[in-house]
A and B are shown apart, each in its own frame.
Chain A
């Protein structure tokens, strides 16, 4: 391509680099600052001298959080939730997406079934009726309340269903000719060739379960059953002092809690930050693949 290296063009190019770098910096700066505060001494954090880098570097805040039973407990609950929730989500998503990816000659009433699922994206009973159903099923205070009501992620089903539809029909027909059943075809042929799409959806489901906090707050009556994000909501955002022990309050007098909050914020985001590079690679292809239609 012919480049016009006029003065104006040069000015634009350099200005553009600076502007975009600035935009990227604004996106990341608040996170960096919180990280710096978490590694700073409590007095430095409290006096507001911490900018980009930790002042009086120390791991005290992390040591404090590591000994906090509430934090550990809710962390473990979240791990359990992610393991259970993601497996159930994925199983259900695959089991719905495969039949719906067939055409009406193979699955009668296909369009009807699709609408039954899609309608739940358009209209909902809302907060209170859903809560009443969960309560009447005696699921309150159990991990199942966090896993089962959201077990059918319609959006992921649609992504996967569109992906399945683009698998060459010859591949699937060959499997039938070899005498394979629908069930075997799904697990032996369709699932293995769909790994990129499945990886994307698994990551979506993992992030969803990790980040979810509201269901914990409404479905768990006892704070000791809260998953991590719900616990953090009460500690960091709602500033609920009721579940602090007298011992905690004494200690909080000695150390400013700003760096402790920062440490918890960072730890709560850490798993996402760790899988983020993986996530990034997959989700772009995943989204593009899922949105391509015939």
Chain B
């Protein structure tokens, strides 16, 4: 149906104006600001006054030993989180689905969603207390069992596992919702038919439930591919310390320290630029794959 343009429809464009203005200023102009990555940036001279140095910043970053460590940490933390973050919610959703008592299921859901809504500042404060080597309850329990206390957040080899565990702790409840929603969408007739054919609970889970939620599993794992360089700034920044930089430092925290602490704006922007470009490729690819194989559209 093609309608003629009415004057009143121009209000639609007017409505878009404030939003467009804001994202141009705070999203698109900073994209142009990525030019800082190619400059010997001097804050007093600004973006237009600073000298261009070509790829000098990138070469410098490439020559630093830290760079490879940071990249490796980022990818390994992100991949471990993706794997754990995929498996745990599915398992919990399947277990919850077997529970008959509604109040019990609702109660468990309410408690496991809760950490998702608290900030990493709050949760880090809590974790630091609970995991403290001297008076944290976890180490009291470990001592009680007769082992030596472990400084979980101050030992490089423990730091990555702690990041993964605490991330799962915060997020699995929330992600469980998605699978529970998918589970309710499965046709109950299928289960009855399977029972007629003599299938037990395990067989029903394996042959009906799993295929039923497979599309959403594929979709979420595909979309998560875009996050390979996002290992979680908020979490790492609040939990790490110089002692665990060797295993805990990620691209985002590295950019923060280079830029905001050491004032190496050009170098920090170069690292950020690298991350933005690689992330863009990964996210676009994952969206494209999700569209191709799961018919997923963002809007």
Interface residue ranges, A against B (CB under 8 Å): 1-2, 4, 9, 12-13, 16-17, 19-21, 23-28, 30-31, 33-34, 37, 46-48, 51, 92, 95-96, 98-100, 102, 105-107, 113-114, 116-118, 120, 122-134, 136-137, 148-152, 157-158, 161-162, 181-183, 186, 207, 210-214, 218, 229, 232-233, 236-237, 258, 261-262, 264-265, 268-269, 272-273, 276, 279-280, 284, 287-288, 293
Contacts and interface: CB of A to CB of B under 8 A. Distances in A.
A48 B114 contact: no
B27 A125 contact: yes
B122 A182 contact: no
A17 B195 CA distance: 24
Nearest to A264: B125
Most buried by A among B98, B113, B117, B233: B117
Contacts of A4: 200-201
A126 B19 contact: no
Nearest to A207: B117
B12 A128 contact: no
Contact of B297 (A123, A265, A288, A293): A293
Contact of A125 (B33, B121, B178, B234): B33
B272 A27 contact: no
B117 A276 contact: yes
Contacts of B129: 30, 33-34, 37, 258, 261-262, 265
Contacts of B187: none
A263 to B, nearest CB: 11
Contact of A126 (B9, B15, B140, B272): B272
B31 interface: yes
A185 B99 CA distance: 46
Interface stretch (B61-69, B103-111, B154-162): B103-111
A132 B134 CA distance: 42
29 contacts: A1-B195, A16-B95, A23-B92, A23-B108, A24-B111, A30-B130, A37-B129, A102-B12, A106-B12, A114-B299, A122-B280, A123-B280, A125-B30, A126-B30, A126-B272, A127-B255, A129-B272, A132-B265, A133-B30, A133-B33, A136-B46, A152-B22, A162-B299, A218-B260, A232-B121, A268-B125, A276-B114, A280-B110, A287-B178
A31 to B, nearest CB: 7
Contacts of A51: 137
B225 interface: no
A162 B213 CA distance: 23
Contacts of B19: 92, 95-96, 117, 152, 157
A129 B127 contact: no
Contact of B27 (A24, A113, A124): A124
Given A4-B200, A233-B238, A124 B30 contact: yes
A280 B113 contact: yes
A148 B22 contact: yes
Chain B interface size range: 35 or more
Interface string B257-272: 0011000010011001
B3 interface: yes
A134 to B, nearest CB: 8
Contacts of A214: 233-234, 237
B23 interface: yes
A269 to B, nearest CB: 5
Which 7 pairs, one residue from A and one from B, show the smallest C-beta to C-beta distance?
A125-B30, A129-B33, A126-B272, A211-B119, A48-B135, A129-B30, A99-B12
B21 to A, nearest CB: 10
Contact of B23 (A37, A107, A116): A116
A124 B125 contact: no
A149 B26 contact: yes
A12 to B, nearest CB: 7
Given A122-B284, A126-B273, A211-B122, 18 more contacts: A1-B195, A16-B99, A20-B96, A23-B108, A27-B112, A95-B16, A99-B16, A102-B12, A123-B280, A125-B34, A127-B252, A128-B268, A214-B233, A229-B121, A233-B121, A268-B119, A268-B125, A287-B181
Contacts of A117: 19, 23
